[in-house]
């Protein structure tokens, strides 16, 4: 089924749901992705005219990796900062501008930070093993215009030089369940690498319960020092349906066809995200299909953050397909399955209504490592101790 056929079919579903309040344009951190939570993710200021908002996260991390013959220890910083402005236009329209940057190209080594058994393929720029690349310097530079034809519906158009198309949930580093982790998901190559594209245009229709979007964009691939993304003509498209039965729950399904031939590879995604002040949960499935004679790749993940008082308990479980022969001689003719576990704890020394500062630790564990003991030792393990400063999302 083509993206156009999906959009037409889903628009019929959407037309039956226009009976509740339209979604709030400030309930989004990336592109037009819905932020599930009982409060806005932004620190806001302003009056009845312009509203200015911002959010940020910064980790200063010490990592220690044991198992391989040479133990690796490094200090680095992962971070991002987002800001924007919102202007009501009359009673029914609004204008929104938003940008996001990361200084990781300058606060990480050129080849990224150490993360044992992490993997990046040529589909995300280059083959890299045991390292995680920096975020791009520019994660978003976009504007959005919205109009409410009634109190129960919203039409919008989003355009970004850099931005997130309507494909998948929010990036892990922005999700309520993932913002406190010091490291990227091990499923990054399959489920996270398509969040930042160029020449993004997204049209959407939303009610309080449902949101339908279609996007056209350029399949930009990041390489080099990650301070710029390649530009080019629109060569990809996607569609996403998001259900919001309550303000704290978002269920999305999406499909994207990426590449010059609009079928070079296809990304299918489904997720459920639940956000409350004391708990945040994301369950995520992603499939990457190829037009060429290659095996489909899948990633399943569950991400949980519990926040009683000043404490945060973090768990991430991921089941990921890797190329046959991983991590030795890689082949695209088949896949091998790997399961990764990440657990963590963080204590907020400072926890105000807008900002918080804490100390924490993440520990990784992976199953089925006996057959690679000669490369990674008896029990390869990564420990990340960190200081985290962020807005109080």
**Res 368: pLDDT:** 77
Task: Tell me the CA distances in angstroms from 79 to 102, 135, 389, one per residue in order.
Answer: 6, 8, 9
What is the rounded CA–CA span in Å between residue 105 and residue 225?
6
Q: Are 184 and 133 in contact (CB under 8 A)?
A: no
Pick 154 or 332 by higher pLDDT.
154
Please state the rounded mean pLDDT for residues 356-365.
96
Check residue 259 and give its pLDDT: 85
Residue 333 has pLDDT above 60, yes or no: yes
Residue 211 · residue 249 · CB < 8 Å: no
Residue 293: count other Cβ atoms within 10 Å of its Cβ.
7
C-alpha 85/C-alpha 327 separation (Å) is 46
Query: Considering the chain, what is the average pLDDT of its residues?
Result: 88
Percent of the chain with pLDDT over 70: 93
Q: Looking at the predicted structure, is the pLDDT value of residue 178 above 50? A: yes
pLDDT confidence tier of residue 167, bands split at 50, 70 and 90: very high
pTM of the predicted model as reported, rounded to 2 decimal places? 0.89
Position 11 pLDDT exceeds 70: no
Summarize pLDDT for 26-83 with one digit per residue, the tens.
778 899 998 887 677 799 888 778 999 999 999 999 999 888 877 889 999 999 999 9
Angle 340-343-348 from CA coordinates, rounded to 5°: 150
Contacts of 207 (CB under 8 A, 6+ apart): 14, 17, 18, 19, 20, 21, 22, 23, 152, 153, 154
Distance between CA atoms of residues 304 and 316, nearest Å = 6
Could you report the per-residue pLDDT of 23-32, keeping only the tens digit for each?
577 778 899 9
Per the structure, the count of domains in the chain is 1
- The CATH number of the domain holding residue 116 is 2.40.160.10
| Mean pLDDT within 136-141 | 94
Q: What is the pLDDT of residue 21?
A: 35
Contact 147, 93 (CB under 8 A): yes
Find the domain containing 150 and state its range. Answer: 3-391
What is the rounded average pLDDT of the residues 124-131? 84
User: Token pair of 380, please?
Assistant: 């390869």
Whether 175 and 217 have beta carbons less than 8 Å apart is answered as no
In this predicted structure, what is the pLDDT of residue 13? 37
Rounded Cα–Cα distance for residues 388 and 84 (Å): 23
Instruction: Return the bridge partners of 301, or none.
Output: 284, 318
DSSP single-letter state for residue 82: E
What's the pLDDT tens digit per position in 287-306?
999 887 788 999 999 999 99
Work out the number of other CB atoms within 10 angstroms of the CB of residue 357: 14
């Amino acid at each position: 089924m083509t993206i156009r056929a999906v959009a037409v079919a889903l628009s019929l579903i959407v037309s039956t749901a226009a009976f509740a309040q339209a979604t709030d344009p400030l309930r989004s951190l990336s592109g037009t992705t819905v932020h599930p939570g009982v409060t806005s993710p932004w620190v806001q200021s302003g009056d009845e005219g312009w509203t200015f908002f911002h959010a940020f996260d910064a980790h200063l991390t010490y990592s220690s990796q044991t198992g391989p013959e040479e133990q690796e220890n490094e200090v680095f910083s992962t971070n991002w900062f987002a800001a924007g402005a919102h202007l009501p236009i009359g009673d029914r329209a609004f204008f929104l501008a938003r940008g996001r940057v990361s200084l990781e190209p300058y606060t990480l080594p050129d080849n990224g930070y150490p993360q044992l058994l992490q993997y990046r393929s040529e589909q995300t720029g280059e083959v890299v093993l045991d390292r995680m690349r920096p975020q791009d310097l520019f994660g978003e530079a976009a504007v959005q215009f919205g109009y409410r034809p009634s109190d129960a519906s919203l039409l919008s158009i989003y355009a970004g030089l850099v931005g997130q198309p309507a494909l998948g949930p929010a990036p892990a580093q922005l999700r309520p369940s993932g913002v406190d982790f010091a490291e990227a998901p091990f499923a990054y190559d399959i489920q996270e690498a398509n969040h930042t594209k160029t020449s993004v245009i997204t049209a959407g229709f939303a009610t309080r319960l449902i949101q339908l979007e279609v996007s056209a964009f350029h399949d930009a691939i990041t390489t080099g020092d990650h301070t710029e993304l390649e530009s080019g003509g629109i060569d990809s498209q996607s569609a996403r349906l998001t259900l919001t039965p309550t303000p704290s729950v978002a269920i999305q399904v999406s499909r994207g066809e990426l590449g010059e031939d609009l079928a070079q590879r296809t990304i299918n995604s489904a997720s459920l995200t639940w956000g409350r002040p004391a708990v945040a949960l994301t369950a995520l499935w992603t499939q990457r299909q190829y037009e060429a004679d290659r095996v489909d790749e899948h990633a399943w993940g569950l991400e949980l953050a519990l926040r009683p008082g000043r404490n945060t308990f973090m768990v991430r479980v991921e089941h990921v397909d890797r190329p046959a022969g991983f991590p030795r001689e890689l082949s695209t003719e088949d896949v091998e399955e790997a399961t990764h576990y990440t657990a963590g704890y963080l204590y907020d020394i400072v926890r105000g209504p807008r900002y918080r500062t804490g100390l924490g630790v993440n520990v990784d564990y992976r199953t089925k490592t006996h057959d690679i003991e000669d490369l990674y030792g008896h029990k390869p393990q990564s420990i990340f101790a960190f200081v985290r400063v962020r807005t109080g999302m």
